[in-house]
Amino acid sequence: MKKALVNQWYIVKMNFFMLLSFAVLHVLQLVLDFTFASDFVVVGVLFAGLFVGGYAQNAKWKTYSKTMPISVFERVNASFAFAVGQMLIALAAVLTTNIVSVYVLNDVGAINLVWSLVDVEALPKEILAYSVAVAWFAGLSILTAFCFFISGALKRYFAIAGSVAVLGTMFALIMLIMLRLDGFLTVFANVMNKAPWQLAFVVIACVLLLLASWFAVLGIETVNSPESKKRFITRALVIFAVAVLTFGGLVGYSYAKGYLVIPEREDKYSNYPHYNDYNDKTPEATTEPADEENEKRIMDDVYGFLSEGMCVDLTMKDFEKRAQRIGFEKEGNEYISESRNIKFTVEGDSEITEFNLVNDSSCNGNIVLSKAEGDAFEEKFSLGMSEADLIKLFKNEGIYPAYITEYYDFADGYDDRVIVRKYNLYLQQRNSAPNRLPSQNELSVQYYTLVIHVAEGKVVFVKSY
Amino acid sequence: MNAVELKGLCKKYKAKRGETRAFELKDVSLTLPYGCIMGLIGENGAGKSTTIRLMLDILEKDEGEISLLGCKTAEDRVKAKDEIGVVLDDPCFPDIFTAVQINKMMKSTYSKWNEEQFFAYLERFEIDKKKVVRKLSKGMKMKLSIAVALSHSAKLLIMDEPTSGLDPVVRNEIVEILHEFTRVPTNSVLISSHIVSDLEKLCDYVAFIHKGRVVLCDEKDRLLDRYATVHCSADEFDKIDPSAVKGSVDTHYGVDAVIERTAIPEGMNFEPVNMEELFVLFVRNQHL
């Protein structure tokens, strides 16, 4: 076993830089602070899994190793040990970088340092996050392809085809992560929460899958012993079938019991400050009388939701789902929450065209609040200030643009065309540290639109909506 | 006792796209006694490498028996490989390794790995032990493979085209090393090549492989004693017993032929045959 493991060491060496890049890029991901860190752990494991057949990368060496006094068991065991080792290394890399970034980088303000080095503040954060994710996967894919090439394992056209396949898979994974993986993880967590004993079945099924693949590889690798080959392959198939049945049974049982509920996309929604409080409570619990502070919190959240709901181009269907999730009942085009004493109407066909808060007796509402906040900022702008000063003012007030749309207009009295910038703004939450960008979790839901007209480099018109 | 025994070894490949016929190794039987060197001679694609790969269990045989150092099952042969040095046609060490790292790896693989001997070979072959494999020339890589094969007290060396693509100086050096190796009476070598002149210097036994079949296998000296080359006119050639003719070629001056010495007509001039002539004319005869 030992000697076979030593023979696999070269693969670890070959892939080491890939793991290193994984760690570096993961740090980058954390520094840029997008919120699907848990997905990266999963993808890390998936990616390491691509190397389960690691030694197969080098066919020449694999051939040569068959001339050595190493049994097929030793070779296969070593490969599996290598695969498990590599997965552990990947996990260790992720955990280490997490710990480093959370406990070290934050404290020394490295995030600010990075942000100041890279002038990305003006860019929408989501676009940055997506770009980095794409770059991350593309980088890994290119490295994978490079590994195929240097290993000399595959013929060139296989390497190219393999690289394309890897790239395609990675991009597909990005989409999967962005769209659904959070949901799947939530499903898993939900099932485990309600029926923790099912974890035992998951573990059993995983062990069976590992065992099945071990037998399969043994069968493939066994040479000049047809009986052994047949025996190993048969075992692999039987164990694989049992593993599939275990998984299938688990899923079927969960579904029958109602544990398996695919959640809606709630990535943005889950960022609301008190979302988890609502999510954990049963509908009855939310109808309990709330104290003043609690009521304010609820109102903030609801109005935040409504404001967000108005601004992110939700379809009517998505809007309806969101409203119902936090306890609004729909009657025609009216949404009513008796416990919160709120009613609003929404008009529109597929997309929202009109939104009206009908009952706002307890508070002016976020829509109005946003407008009020916007007005407050509007007063601080002085016409004629430069655009650079305007950006500074934003920063000083803790405002960070989320989306910027830009278009041109012609206005009387100015020689040049007037640049009209429509800023959709987040207000920074009060409890985040000064001089540091808020993370997505810290972002307030307060959200409004500011339209700024700039002509000849000067602000000529500001209006909040 | 024989170091290598092959009986009725068969292997059939599936036809690749564009090929009309699949390659097939048919009924290969060979015997290499201890202390001898056998050369597998054949043109490219004749089946030399396939035979060697089947012997080493790199490929799965369809039929036949393989015995290496007395071990007849694949499981037994795993242990026997501790005493078998192998040099494949394409040097197979990972490109990113240095000779020092290869030494470490082999030390934990072979029970009788001799570190001093390995480094002595490296010095003799002038291989930079700190240079990674990919930076070595093809000759150097081959020498490195040979150094590995010779550094674990192997009793049997199996070499697949170790001299192909190498310059004559390096090839000569390898021939010398193999001579040194076989000075130990129990050491044996099975070497394949299509460079017949190299094998002629080395081998005690030769086996001609042509289109997947062993067409001739005997002691080299016996073959050279048994056959001769004649240069004669077409009329003279017609008088020779056709069954004694192993190969012939028409030239501007008549016919060149390799025939059994016993069948040479009285008075006809003949010359001792060399392995290259024997091989070339033999193969031509097989094509006819």
Question: For all residues of chain B together, what is the average pLDDT?
Answer: 86
- The helix or strand, by DSSP H or E, that contains position A342, with its residue range, turns out to be strand A342-348
Contact B92 A60 (CB under 8 A): yes
Q: What is the pTM of this model?
A: 0.57
Report pLDDT for A142.
53
pLDDT in tens, B135-173: 898 888 988 999 999 999 999 999 998 887 778 888 888
How far is CA A452 from its chain centroid?
32
Give me the pLDDT at residue B150, please.
Answer: 93
Other CB atoms within 10 A of residue A439 CB: 16
In this prediction the ipTM stands at: 0.85
Asked if pLDDT for residue B287 goes beyond 80, the answer is no
Tokens describing residue B198: 């190299």
Q: Three-state DSSP class for A38?
A: helix
Cα distances (Å, whole numbers) of residue B228 to A190, B216, B260, B271, B281: 88, 16, 6, 6, 12
Q: Half-sphere exposure of A298 toward its Cβ, with a 13 Å CA cutoff? A: 23
Residue B119 has pLDDT above 60, yes or no: yes
The predicted structure's pLDDT at residue B114 = 94
CA distance B214 to B31: 12
What does the alpha-carbon distance between residue B162 and residue B151 come to, in Å, rounded to a whole number?
A: 17
**Domain locations in chain A?**
2-194, 269-363, 368-464
Q: How far is CA B242 from the centre of its chain?
A: 30
Q: Which of B56, B57, B94 sits opposite A10 (nearest CB)?
A: B94
Tokens in use for A303? Answer: 């109005």
Cβ-based neighbours of A214, under 8 Å, separated by 6 or more: A76, A80, A236
Q: Residue A210 is inside which H or E element, if any? A: helix A198-221
Listed in sequence order, the residues at least 6 apart from A10 whose beta carbon sits closer than 8 Å to its beta carbon are A58, A61, B94, B96, B97, B105
Structural contact between residues A418 and A451, judged by C-beta atoms closer than 8 angstroms: no
Q: Report the chain A residue with the minimal C-alpha distance to residue B11.
A: A224
Residue B107 pLDDT greater than 50, yes or no: yes
Q: Nearest by CB to A67, which of B56, B61, B90?
A: B56
The total number of residues shown for chain A amounts to 465
Q: Tell me the β-bridge partners of B65.
A: B7
Q: What is the 3-state secondary structure (H, E, C) of chain B?
A: CEEEEEEEEEEECCCCCCCCCCCEEEEEEEEEECCCEEEEECCCCCCHHHHHHHHCCCCCCCEEEEEECCECCHHHHHHHHHHEEEECCCCCCCCCCEHHHHHHHHHCCCCCCCHHHHHHHHHHCCCCCCCEHHHCCHHHHHHHHHHHHHCCCCCEEEEECCCCCCCHHHHHHHHHHHHHHCCCCCCEEEEEECCHHHHHHHCCEEEEEECCEEEEEEEHHHHHHHEEEEEECHHHHHCCCHHHEEEEEEECCEEEEEEEHHHCCCCCCEEECCHHHHHHHHHHHHHC
Question: What is the mean pLDDT of the segment spanning B204-230?
Answer: 89
Query: Does the CB of B57 have a partner CB in chain A at under 8 Å?
Result: yes
Q: Pick out chain A residues at pLDDT < 70.
A: 1-61, 75-196, 198-199, 258-315, 318-319, 321-322, 325-327, 338-344, 348-388, 390-465
Contact between B238 and B51 under an 8 Å Cβ cutoff? The reply is no
Report helix, strand or coil for A356: strand
Q: Which two tokens stand for residue A42?
A: 């999963």
Cβ of A9 within 8 Å of Cβ of B105? The answer is yes
Give the mean model confidence (pLDDT) for residues B213-228: 88
Nearest to A61 among B57, B59, B92 (CB): B92
The class (CATH top level) of B2-211 is alpha beta
Q: How far is B54 from chain A (nearest CA, A)?
A: 9
Residue with tokens 């049992």: A242
- Cα B239 to Cα A378: distance, rounded to the nearest angstrom: 118
Q: Are strands B205-210 and A329-331 parallel, antiparallel or unpaired?
A: unpaired
Question: How far is Cα B261 from Cα B74, in angstroms, rounded to an integer?
Answer: 43
Closest residue by Cα to residue A278 from A339, A336, A235: A339
Q: Do A68 and B109 touch (CB under 8 A)?
A: yes
pLDDT confidence of residue A143: 52
How far apart are the C-alpha atoms of A268 and A311, rounded to whole Å? 12
Examine the pLDDT at B132 and tell me if it is beyond 50. Answer: yes
Q: Name B267's Cβ contacts closer than 8 Å, sequence gap at least 6.
A: none
Q: How many CB pairs under 8 A join A and B?
A: 71
Residue among B225, B230, B223, B228 at smallest CA distance from B208: B223
How many angstroms separate the Cα of A237 from the Cα of each of A210, A212, A216, A221, A243? 12, 7, 8, 16, 10
pLDDT value, residue A289: 40
Q: In B, which residues are within 8 Å of A63 by CB distance? A: 58, 88, 92
Is some CB atom of chain A closer than 8 A to the CB atom of B76? no
Q: For residues B204 and A114, which has the higher predicted lDDT (pLDDT)?
A: B204
A192 vs B8, residue with greater confidence: B8
Question: What's the one-letter identity of residue A417?
Answer: R
Which residue would you say has higher pLDDT here, B73 or A168?
Answer: B73
Rounded to 5 degrees, φ, ψ at A170 are -65, -45
